[in-house]
Amino acid sequence: MLFYVVLLLLGVGAYYYHFTANRKKIIERLEVVAQRRRDDLAKNVEETRRIADKLDPKRRDYIGGLDFLQLQNELQKGTVTCVEAVRTYFHKAILAHEKTNAVTCFILEADQQAEELDEKAKQASYVKPPMFGVPLSLKECLKLKGYDTTRGFVQDAYRPATEDSIQIEHYKKLGLIPFCQTNVPQSLLSYNCSNPLFGTTTNPFDSTRTCGGSSGGEGALIGGRGSIIGIGTDVGGSVRIPCHFTGTAGIKPSKMRFAHRGGGASVPGKPMIDANDGPMAQDVKANVEFLRNVWGDIDFQSDRDPYCPPVHWNESLYSSEKKLRVGYYIDDGWFTPTPALQRAVLESKKHLENAGHTVIPFYPPRLTKVMQLYFRAVCLDGGQYVLNKLLKDIIEPTIRFQVTLWMVPTWVQRILSYPVSLVFPRMAVLMQSLTRDTFELREAYADIEAYREEYVGMMMKDDLDVILCPASVMPAPQHDIPSKVVSGVSYTCLYNLLDFGAGVVPVTTVSKSDEEKLINEYPETDKWYQTVKKATIGAIGMPIGVQVAAPPFREEAVLRTMREIELAITGK
């Protein structure tokens, strides 16, 4: 018996030695690649600066002070050229990048593309497309011909896309000029923004805090006024959380409103929880104008992707004067948000009521079950796809906690969840969420379908048009917190599970009274609550947004509601 024990221990030791030796070789090789990529970015930034400096500073400041609609109008009239617009945002993006580390690559040929558009505009027969010459920033994972889509994995550096995605092709047709790519968290499955290839992107309001993720580079760049509009992706809040953290506005449409053929994914093969691209901008107006033009020409995407239905922009839904019925909640029953987020919803409720809309309480059902279903459907193979990628890469320190969970076998997590449930019930829920087999996965899909029916049925019973709720559980925390509070996405991931359109509009900032209420009244009943409370202390002045959601193909109602809140707050 002793012989077999010794043999087993020797086998385990040999495997561990082989594993660590192999990991050391991988890391040493990839560190060289990462350093080369960072050196290339430094050169890329300096070349971009050289191009940007060709524009007169006074002219640049004037163009940089225009909002989206003003810039769009001046480009249409010809009082601002495409070259001037691109060089202005090259300059503004460099300033934002130096502050936040938001950019992974500047697209130098944007300047040449702008020159070509300006030349076309000189032809009397040329009809300018609706977004002629507007600079567009792109989340790094979006396929752009000739550029990497690493998703923060060093192993995928220097493997550029061979063609544009259908959506990028469409944006170019509409006159937009992609001018830079922005940073993401490694694997995209986090709401911070850090990876071993490009480093950490910080919040433009406080460098000690995260800009969110996974579209964090977009949030930081737009929040830092380095881009006028950009495109992110969202599988659990990846557009909405960065908007909330950085004081910007954005929307995640339902899956079918954009083409997906030829696109990438954080985890391929998850049919019930799909990511979708969505615009992010400094205000709701820009999102509306962008989507009005994209969906007004949606046949371009539908013709190239038969799975994208030709659902056009619904102006009557957006511009309707019929008063809305809005359901609202400030606590989903899974994770109580901090006081500032609750206040933001209540203030938005009042704004909508003042505009004549009916706003009534709504209680989303069974969020504990939703969290289990969401993580089971996203990590449908128990996290093995992402784990295998990570074990062949340099692992980003801020997601080590998540990686550790994925490394523990599902059956071990299930066993450990029972004693854990006695002291940390919510953690036990997540420990029971990863699937053991295909039978359990099929049950999860069936449960998601049933939940969608239940939720929509509740909305229909109350004749609700949209839902108003918090955008997160807290304002922007420190960079390591998202990995420690993975359950903090309940307010956003719910609408991925439902496949609703959902957007975020900035409403307020954390006040001194919010912090006092946090200190005196916010719960500390488990480790997650304690972590959120500690992370939120000192967040006075940080942006706070609210979330608006509606069933698929009713994104125009979401945007209308967001815009009405924006108008009530800003007056413009």
Which residue ranges are tagged as binding site for substrate? 188, 214, 235-238
* Marked catalytic residue, from 187, 214, 483, 490: 214
CA distances from 327 to 204, 363, 459, 464 (A): 32, 8, 8, 6
Contact 240, 471 (CB under 8 A): yes
CA dihedral 294, 300, 305, 310 (to 10 degrees): 70
Contacts of 498 (CB under 8 A, 6+ apart): 451, 452, 455, 456, 549, 551
Where is the binding site, in residues? 188, 214, 235-238
Ramachandran assignment for 175, one of left (phi > 0), alpha (psi -120 to 50 degrees), beta (any other): left
- Residue 319 falls in the annotated catalytic set: no
Within 10 angstroms of residue 269's Cβ, the number of other Cβ atoms is: 8
Q: Which of 92, 139, 252, 285 is catalytic?
A: 139
Pairing of strands 358-361, 206-210: unpaired
Write the single-letter amino acid at 222: I
Q: Which DSSP symbol is given to 322?
A: S
Closest of 290, 338, 284 to residue 568, by C-alpha: 284
**Residue 524 CB contacts under 8 Å (≥ 6 apart), including other chains:** 530, 533
DSSP 245-302: HHT-EEEE--GGGS--TT---SSTT-TTS--EEEEEESSHHHHHHHHHHHHHTTHHHH
Round to whole Å and give the CA distance between 227 and 222.
5
Does the active-site annotation cover 214? yes
Given a contact cutoff of 8 angstroms between Cβ atoms, the answer to whether 344 and 433 are in contact is no
Catalytic residue among 187, 190, 227, 238: 238
Token representation of residue 424: 């940390």
* Cα separation of the two ends of the chain: 80
Strand partners, 281: 229, 249
Length of the chain: 572
DSSP 8-state secondary structure symbol assigned to residue 431: H
Q: Is 322 a catalytic residue?
A: no
Q: In 308-363, which residue ranges form alpha helices assigned H by DSSP?
A: 315-319, 339-354
**Neighbouring C-beta atoms of residue 44, cutoff 10 Å:** 17
**CA separation for the pair 248, 544 (Å, rounded):** 10
Taking every pair of Cα atoms in the chain, the longest distance, rounded to a whole number of angstroms, is 91
Distance from C-alpha of 201 to C-alpha of 215, rounded to nearest angstrom = 11
Alpha helices, H only, 355-436: 367-378, 384-390, 400-407, 410-423, 425-431
Please name every residue paired with 229 in a beta bridge, in sequence order, or none if there are none. 281
Give the neighbor-by-neighbor strand order of the sheet with 543-550. Answer: 103-106, 177-182, 135-139, 229-234, 276-281, 249-252, 501-509, 543-550, 466-470, 325-328, 358-361
Distance CA 504, CA 495 (A): 12
Catalytic residues: 139, 214, 238
